[in-house]
Amino acid sequence: MRRARNAKIVATLGPASSDPEAIRRLFEAGADVFRLNFSHGTQEDHRRNFNTLRALERDSGRPISILQDLQGPKLRVGRLEGGKVTLEKDSHFRLDLDETPGTAERAPLPHPEIFAALQEGATILLDDGRLYLEVIEAAADHAKTRVVVGGILGERKGVNVPSVVLPISPLTPKDRDDLAFGLEMGVDWVALSFVQRPEDVAELRKLVAGRAAIMIKVEKPAAVDCLEQLLELADGAMVARGDLGVEMAPEEVPGIQKDIIRACRLAGKPVVVATQMLDSMVHAPAPTRAEASDVATAIYDGADAVMLSAESAAGDYPVEAVAMMCRIIERTERDRSYRAIVEALHPEPEPNAADAISEAAAQVAMTISAAAIVTYTTSGSTALRAARRRPTAPILLLTAQRKTARRLVLLWGAHAVHTADISSFPEMVEKAASIARREGFAEAGSKLVITAGVPFGTPGATNVLRIAWVE
């Protein structure tokens, strides 16, 4: 099951992909990481899919990464008379805590934390940004607004406040319950929605307590503004373009996407580009040329992974969508301009042994045309540093920690293998050569670049680089 590409594919499971045969077909078509979206489905639905994935992992002999995506707070207007009202441009519209069904003049907004943060001049977006309000008067229990862009407002539609950091935790009671459930099952990654500040990530990290890796979803302008600090606390990031596109002007999102990918690359943290990548394949057997170009752009930018949402969860062509994304990635990575574009960003190695070894390994592998860089790792930190460099040779990651193998399935260029620890230099070389041949990376006469740490099995102790020939 070696993939013929460096970038990975995240597939969301849902009604269109919730039985064992469907999940197996997604995996065989190219899905590397499976997303359990806790905004939809029951916990038992997710447990069933989790168990199916672990059974598939045992049958295939390949580690599979499972990502739990928490729902986060959902800010919505309350009930409206007749279920919907029409807001006229330049009319005044009041939002308040009164639960009485709303009219064209006012509506309930049962979120006092929003009123606590609003100021005159702030922007309020309704229904995924379709309606645009400007605050002209703010108080602790209401806000008077002017309708800048009007239209039909339905009850229970979403509310976004892009210009304001809201005094609200990203973890609702539902999220905390779902998190405990996911950690008990053994998810590999937890994706945090509604991130606004570093304290949000610190709150989750305390609850996770090392049992899973943490991925921040960058979907709010406030998160973009403090991205560097967020990445210091997180293990990876997701460019949540759908929500970003609501809270920011659409023309700003492509540049922000590149900035996030660059920041993650420099930090040595994996990054996923998500939302509407092959959206037309929800109902069509092929994507638009613009969508194919969109996926390719993320690959040229150096993303670790690209994600399918509704395409694989609820679409008519889930397997075809995965296969198409796989083909686009493979073709992009074969393009003669790909390597030059990826190497245009060459992160400077940090002054430590792991970075020195990883930098040297990439250079040596390119010089001798090595079949692979074989990295022995315990915590995964060495593999992360190796992938940060985006070497020309694939990264064969060998670890005795099953949870490390699963987490790093997401990593650019990494082929993770769970195997027993080594105890000597001869065993280090013999095992690297044997697994490289078995996994389809090398054949007799191939060269390998091997990195490891002495004493063997010590986390964070990478200090050895060895060139070996496969016999």
Q: Which residues make Cβ contacts (< 8 Å) with residue 38, sequence separation at least 6? A: 46, 68, 69, 70, 71, 175, 178, 182
Spot the catalytic one: 76, 94, 176, 437: 76
Share of the chain above pLDDT 90, in %: 88
Phi first, then psi: give them for residue 373, nearest 5 degrees.
-100, 115
> In a 10 Å sphere around its CB, with 0-12 CB exposed, 13-18 middle and 19+ buried, how is residue 241 labelled?
buried
- Tokens in use for 212? 């899973």
Q: What is the DSSP letter of 349?
A: P
May I ask the CATH class of domain 81-160? Answer: mainly beta
Nearest Cα neighbor of 388 from 418, 355, 436 is 355
Q: What is the DSSP letter of 348?
A: P
Residue 35 near residue 67, CB atoms below 8 Å: yes
Spot the catalytic one: 35, 62, 390, 403: 35
Domains of the chain by residue range: 8-72+169-334, 81-160, 353-469
Which residue did the predictor score with more confidence, 358 or 47? 47
pTM: 0.94
**Residue 7: its pLDDT value, please?**
98
Residue 235 to residue 348: CA distance in whole angstroms: 20
301: enclosing H helix or E strand:
helix 289-301
Residue 235 to residue 221: CA distance in whole angstroms: 20
In the beta sheet, which residues pair with residue 414? Answer: 395
Longest CA–CA separation in the chain, Å: 79
Does 354 score more than 90 pLDDT?
no
pLDDT tens by residue, 113-163 = 999 999 999 999 999 899 999 999 999 999 999 999 999 999 999 999 987
Does 65 score more than 90 pLDDT?
yes
Query: 416 pLDDT band (50/70/90 cuts)?
Result: very high
**Residue 348: its pLDDT value, please?**
85
Average pLDDT over residues 13-38: 97
Does 59 score more than 80 pLDDT?
yes
Question: Is 431 among the catalytic positions?
Answer: no
Spot the catalytic one: 12, 52, 123, 275: 275
Query: Which amino acid is present at 429?
Result: V
Residue 31 near residue 10, CB atoms below 8 Å: yes
- Tokens in use for 469? 């020939």
**Residue 199: its pLDDT value, please?**
97
In the beta sheet, which residues pair with residue 405? Answer: none
Residue 127 to residue 120: CA distance in whole angstroms: 21
Q: What is the DSSP letter of 163?
A: T
Question: Is 76 among the catalytic positions?
Answer: yes
Mean pLDDT of the chain: 95
May I ask the CATH class of domain 353-469? Answer: alpha beta
pLDDT tens by residue, 252-304 = 999 999 999 999 999 999 999 999 999 999 999 999 999 999 999 999 999 99
Nearest Cα neighbor of 33 from 7, 55, 15 is 7
**Residue 391: its pLDDT value, please?**
95
**Residue 459: its pLDDT value, please?**
75
Q: Which long-range contacts (CB under 8 A, 24 or more apart) does 204-212 make?
A: 204/170, 204/171, 204/179, 205/233, 207/171, 207/176, 207/179, 208/179, 208/183, 211/183, 212/68, 212/182, 212/183, 212/187, 212/188, 212/407
CA angle 293, 295, 299 (to 5 degrees): 110
Q: Does domain 8-72+169-334 have CATH number 3.20.20.60?
A: yes
Query: 458 pLDDT band (50/70/90 cuts)?
Result: confident
Spot the catalytic one: 106, 217, 390, 407: 217
Q: What is the DSSP letter of 376?
A: E
Query: Which amino acid is present at 215?
Result: M
Angstrom CA distances, 374 to 52, 369, 371, 404, 447, stand at 30, 14, 9, 15, 11
